[in-house]
Chain A
Amino acid sequence: MALAAPLAACSAAEAGPPELLWYINPDSGGQERIAQQCTQESDGAYRLNTVLLPRDAPSQREQLVRRLAANDASIDLMSIDPPYIPEFANADFLAPVPDDVAQAVTQDVAEGAVAGASYDDELVTIPFWANTQLLWYRTSVAEAAGLDMTQPVTWEQIVQAAAEQDVTVAVQGVRAESLTVWINALVESAGGHVLENPEATDPQEVRPSLDSDAGRTAAEIIGGLADAGVGGPQLSNATEDINASMFEGDTAGFMVNWPFVWQRAQSAVEDGTLEQSVLDDFGWAMYPQAVEGEQARPPYGGINLGVGAFSEHVDLAFEAARCIVAPEKQAEYFLSDGNPPSSLTAFDDPEVQETFPMADVIRESLQNAAPRPQTPFYNEVSSSLQRTWHPPRAVSPGTSPQRADELITAVLQGEALL
């Protein structure tokens, strides 16, 4: 990072194509490779180099916001986690997307991904890869519990099955962004929303709506799962990674998690740290329903590309962004890094279909996925939720939704600490 700034400063003086800096979230090297490919394909129009951001999404946001607030011209392109996009757009940190680019990059792209890349009905970033969570299960456990996994299942069913079979339901109970992901998916699946009017730009006017039937249903599911004792001993600190290793262990039953767990397990088998029989036992299905018979709204995540408002090469940055999100690059990225494409056509790639037998479930899940509240005050909303709905064993429908609503309101009105 420290090296990047002087490099950017030098590039103007150097001969040769202008250097574009792309601030990326850590991955398995896929974005770095795409940057090299696009540099080659640009035929000398630009050199695309990457700068690594911190590991977790809130820290990535912190760093980008701090730099952008200081009008950092070195940020040409950035990989942004979708929930923070409204904040960036509202603060005028993103260069407006030209119409022709907008049209080109939304063709055959999952609806959820386009919605996640937009703010105020306008495309403000370019959909890159789109993520969603699936319900992962051990086929042996589901069979023993008599669950028909070809049909949608409910949270109640899997918690009950896990309790009967003495196995775990791995969920993200840690006080971090992933907890908000879970809460939001539950509330949306129960037919509600975290915020009634996420589009409000005046913090005083934002109205949270957790204290509703949907909010209470979500709280009941979380509290019930903790009470049933199926969340595992580390429930209140469980991250996606901890869940993934739980699911590879002996007490595994069910798990909601992103598709990276499939690649992770495959690598473990190749390294000889996991039995092939365990991998063969992996099953996957659509995210569980919160209310029986009502379509689940799985979490939506991923990364979209924003062009820095203070960049000196906005046109070139959009050109590079188009190169990065080309469907064949997305397919390749899915294969190399396990991050699903936002482009629906990328799912048809025969190699993708072969490597990810669950590709069609992911595509379907993406179409049903619900984004987290698209508000410029997302950080405050998410942090308030994490404070009031943690630890999972303390979540109850009688108090948690109401406390969350009160804290969100107080924080946004500048009347409470976070």
Chain B
Amino acid sequence: MSTTTTGAGAVRAAQRPPRKPQRSDRARQEARLGLLLSAPAILVLVAVVGYPILQAVWDSLFSYKLTNPDARHFVGLGNFTLILGDPIWWQALGVTVLLTVVTVAVELVLGFGLALVMNNALQRLRPALRTAILIPYAIITVVSAFAFRFMFDLTSGFMNSWLPFVPADTDWFASFGSAVTVIALSEIWKTTPFISLLLLSGLAQVPGELQEAAKVDGATAWQRMRRVTIPNMKAAIMVALLFRTLDAFRIFDNIFIMTNGAAGTESVAFLAYRQTIQRLEIGIGSAVSVLLTIAVALIALMFVKGFKVNLAASTRAGR
């Protein structure tokens, strides 16, 4: 069996211009086993992720209200032109992009600092430190959103008396700037640990001998950081950025709890919630969700193609 396949393969290989080196039988069987082992997981994923996405795409082509299912009718791309022509969509998109860029940038810097602290801490301190840094990430977003809301609330909060430059009667959730600041703060507080953990694993991959060689060559700490550490953990940084950007783009909980969309703080995910769950307009709501999915896919594509992130690289290097 194996000889015939090899023979046929050899003929084909001879006809075509040379490509990848021929894989051995063992490698191919390993690949097949790999496929077989991952098949159930892929099937389950298609069922629980693919099906709802397709259903949403299908629904987005209809005018369909849940309380009036008889009036459901096909509108083609009508829902999409309606959404893209509505200033509310563009405002929500702007808020989402703003929150994503600001929170991810701040989290990256903070997370890197925390990762360095964890990496360089004394052996004995390390587990305790890691746990302490991880605590915010273990807290449910809704709970942390409530905590920040109560902290900054005018009646129950204490921030106005803590911050000397803030007038005592400041209502943080009354205007866009301050409301978005609090939302971003809660998001940063909660998810910086996630980035710092990913970066910590990246730090661990930087070969010690390179650091030592640089040290012997007389490189300063800053030079070692710029020329040795960061280039060697580029993959980890990109993976952390990609995951967090995708996550941040879908922001919902904090906004829902803190402002409920008032003061112009609606995000794209919030808009989808408004149309689907509150208005029960399944068609328009699905269209918003589809647009959100497309935006998220574009971000992922941008990272993978544009920044040449190799998702497999970090795991391979970690082996």
> Given A62-B277, A233-B170, A236-B174: A175 and B86 within 8 A (CB)?
no
A36 at the interface (CB under 8 A from B): no
- Say which one of A138-146, A365-373, A409-417 lies at the interface with B: A409-417
B295 at the interface (CB under 8 A from A): no
- Say which one of B38-46, B115-123, B224-232, B259-267 lies at the interface with A: B259-267
Across-interface contacts of B275 in A (CB, < 8 A): 417-418
Inter-chain CA distance A169–B278, complex, in Å, is 31
- Count residues of A near B (Cβ-Cβ below 8 Å): 30
- Say which one of B60-68, B135-143, B184-192, B233-241 lies at the interface with A: B60-68
Contact A391 B86 (CB under 8 A): no
Digit string of A371-399 for contact with B (CB within 8 Å is 1, else 0)?
00000100110010000001100000000
B217 at the interface (CB under 8 A from A): no
**Shortest CB distance B314–A (Å):** 39
A355 at the interface (CB under 8 A from B): no
Across-interface contacts of A276 in B (CB, < 8 A): none
**Shortest CB distance B39–A (Å):** 33
A242 in complex: contacting residue of B88, B155, B271, B280, CB < 8 Å: B155
Contact A417 B86 (CB under 8 A): yes
Closest chain B residue to A173 by CB distance? Answer: B174
Contact A90 B86 (CB under 8 A): no
Inter-chain CA distance A418–B263, complex, in Å, is 14
Considering only residues 66-83 of chain A, those with a C-beta below 8 Å from chain B are 66, 69
Digit string of A229-270 for contact with B (CB within 8 Å is 1, else 0)?
000011111000010010000000000000000000000000
Considering only residues 45-78 of chain A, those with a C-beta below 8 Å from chain B are 58, 62, 65-66, 69
B171 in complex: contacting residue of A65, A237, A416, CB < 8 Å: A237
Q: Is the interface of B mostly helix, strand, loop or mixed?
A: mixed
A176 at the interface (CB under 8 A from B): yes
A91 at the interface (CB under 8 A from B): yes
B284 in complex: contacting residue of A245, A379, A417, CB < 8 Å: A417
Across-interface contacts of A62 in B (CB, < 8 A): 277-278
B173 in complex: contacting residue of A237, A245, A390, CB < 8 Å: A237
Inter-chain CA distance A320–B32, complex, in Å, is 64
Contact B174 A391 (CB under 8 A): yes
B82 at the interface (CB under 8 A from A): yes
B89 at the interface (CB under 8 A from A): yes
Contact B67 A174 (CB under 8 A): no
Across-interface contacts of A93 in B (CB, < 8 A): 67
Candidate in A58, A391, A414 with the most chain B CB atoms within 10 angstroms: A414
Across-interface contacts of B57 in A (CB, < 8 A): none
Digit string of B73-84 for contact with A (CB within 8 Å is 1, else 0)?
000000000110
Contact B278 A58 (CB under 8 A): yes
Across-interface contacts of A234 in B (CB, < 8 A): 154-155, 171, 174
Inter-chain CA distance A19–B267, complex, in Å, is 43
Inter-chain CA distance A344–B296, complex, in Å, is 58
Digit string of B270-281 for contact with A (CB within 8 Å is 1, else 0)?
010011011111
A233 in complex: contacting residue of B83, B171, B280, CB < 8 Å: B171
Across-interface contacts of B278 in A (CB, < 8 A): 58, 62, 379, 383, 418
Contact A415 B67 (CB under 8 A): no
Inter-chain CA distance A360–B300, complex, in Å, is 65
> Given A233-B169, A234-B154, A417-B89: A176 and B260 within 8 A (CB)?
yes
Contact A417 B88 (CB under 8 A): yes
Contact B68 A91 (CB under 8 A): yes
A188 at the interface (CB under 8 A from B): no
Across-interface contacts of B288 in A (CB, < 8 A): 417
Contact A416 B86 (CB under 8 A): yes
B174 in complex: contacting residue of A237, A376, A416, CB < 8 Å: A237
Contact A69 B274 (CB under 8 A): no
Across-interface contacts of A414 in B (CB, < 8 A): 63, 82, 281, 284
Considering only residues 277-294 of chain B, those with a C-beta below 8 Å from chain A are 277-281, 284, 288
**Shortest CB distance A243–B (Å):** 11
Contact A379 B155 (CB under 8 A): no
A332 at the interface (CB under 8 A from B): no
Closest chain B residue to A70 by CB distance? Answer: B66
B262 in complex: contacting residue of A233, A236, A245, A379, CB < 8 Å: A236
**Shortest CB distance B211–A (Å):** 52
B271 in complex: contacting residue of A376, A391, A417, CB < 8 Å: A417
A87 at the interface (CB under 8 A from B): yes
Inter-chain CA distance A176–B274, complex, in Å, is 13
11 A-B pairs in the complex with CB atoms less than 8 angstroms apart = A65-B66, A175-B260, A176-B260, A236-B171, A237-B262, A242-B155, A383-B278, A414-B82, A417-B82, A417-B89, A418-B279
Q: Which 9 A-B pairs have the closest CB atoms?
A: A233-B169, A175-B262, A91-B67, A417-B88, A236-B174, A234-B154, A417-B86, A69-B66, A234-B171
Taking A235-B174, A237-B262 as known contacts, 9 extra A-B pairs with beta carbons closer than 8 A to each other, sorted by chain A number, are: A66-B277, A87-B67, A90-B67, A175-B261, A234-B155, A237-B173, A380-B279, A383-B278, A414-B63
